[in-house]
Amino acid sequence: MTSDGAGTAGAPAVELADVYAGHGGRDVLRGVTLALPAGTVTALVGANGSGKSTLLSVMAGVLAPRTGSVSLGTPRRPALVVQRSAVSDALPITVRETVEMGRWGLRGPWRRLTRRDREEVGACMERLGVADLARRQLGELSGGQRQRVLLAQGLAQEADLLLLDEPATGLDADSRARIGEVLEQERARGVTVVHATHSEREAARADLVLRMRGGLPREAGGALAQR
């Protein structure tokens, strides 16, 4: 659904109503109203500073809107996968420990992981092709490897709303292909995926494309928009 209220089929996974939000007292989002259908992939396209990351943060609940409201479907657990550049090279943490952090929302940060937790962590690393890096320090990895580890962490949360901030930007072809395949698998499982991208090719594979202009998402195309 676009900011002017035009709808698409399907129960909404996330709805925003007249949301204004930003940083440092400056609104980046200006009156955003939208509803995204569950079980679909939405691509957010726009220049740097257009509000893509801010919109994802608001949907994830890590940034509170100044005004307006955000509501998630029930049940609806969001997982936000940040850009690899947002994680410090100096962070003393291994690949496995990074992915295990994805279980904290379900288990708690100080509770021992169960056998199922460990199995899920291992499965997520296998899906992203980083299981052989489990003992490596996160800061030692290439950009593509690190982004795949962060996505594995997101998958480990078993969220039904997966939010990704430019997950494939600047990565090699193999990493882009691996990430694209995993996102298709998540959609097939009924997970709602929203990802920011600069790539028109990546956006074309989404069910819905929203272009960020003037702090508002404008519907630009995709399978749902063409129905």
**Which of 96, 122, 157 is the endpoint of a domain?**
157
Total structural domains in the chain?
A: 2
Residue 146: which region, alpha, beta or left (left: phi > 0; alpha: psi -120 to 50)? alpha
**Predicted structure pTM score:** 0.87
- Note whether 65 and 176 are same-domain residues: yes
pLDDT in tens, 210-223: 999 988 998 866 55
Whether 100 and 113 map to the same domain: the answer is: yes
Kindly state whether residue 82 falls inside one of the protein's structural domains: no
- Determine the structural domain holding residue 165 and report its residue range: 1-77+159-227
Considering the chain, what percentage of its residues have pLDDT values greater than 90?
58
Q: Identify how many contiguous H helices and E strands the chain contains and give both numbers.
A: 7, 9
**Domain end call among 140, 157, 174:** 157
Contact 19, 58 (CB under 8 A): yes
Q: Are residues 167 and 220 in the same domain?
A: yes
Give the three-class secondary structure for 177: helix
Distance between CA 225 and CA 219 in Å, rounded? 7
Q: Could you report the per-residue pLDDT of 175-185, keeping only the tens digit for each?
A: 888 888 999 99
Q: How confident is the model over 150-187, as pLDDT tens digits? A: 999 999 999 999 999 998 877 888 888 888 899 999 99
**Is 107 found in the same domain as 6?**
no
How far is residue 159's CA from residue 168's CA, in Å, rounded to a whole number? 20
Q: How far is CA 195 from the centre of its chain?
A: 5
* Domain shared by 38 and 95, yes or no: no
Verify that 150 and 168 share a domain, yes or no.
no
The pLDDT of residue 87 is 60
* Non-local CB neighbours of 103 within 8 Å, separated by 6+ positions: 113, 117, 120, 121, 156, 157
Q: Kindly state the average pLDDT of the residues 6-29.
A: 82
Q: What is the CATH number of the domain that holds 225?
A: 3.40.50.300
Residue 88: predicted pLDDT: 55
Edge-first strand order for the sheet with 78-81 is: 78-81, 161-165, 192-197, 41-45, 208-213, 216-221
Residues 16 and 64 in one domain: yes
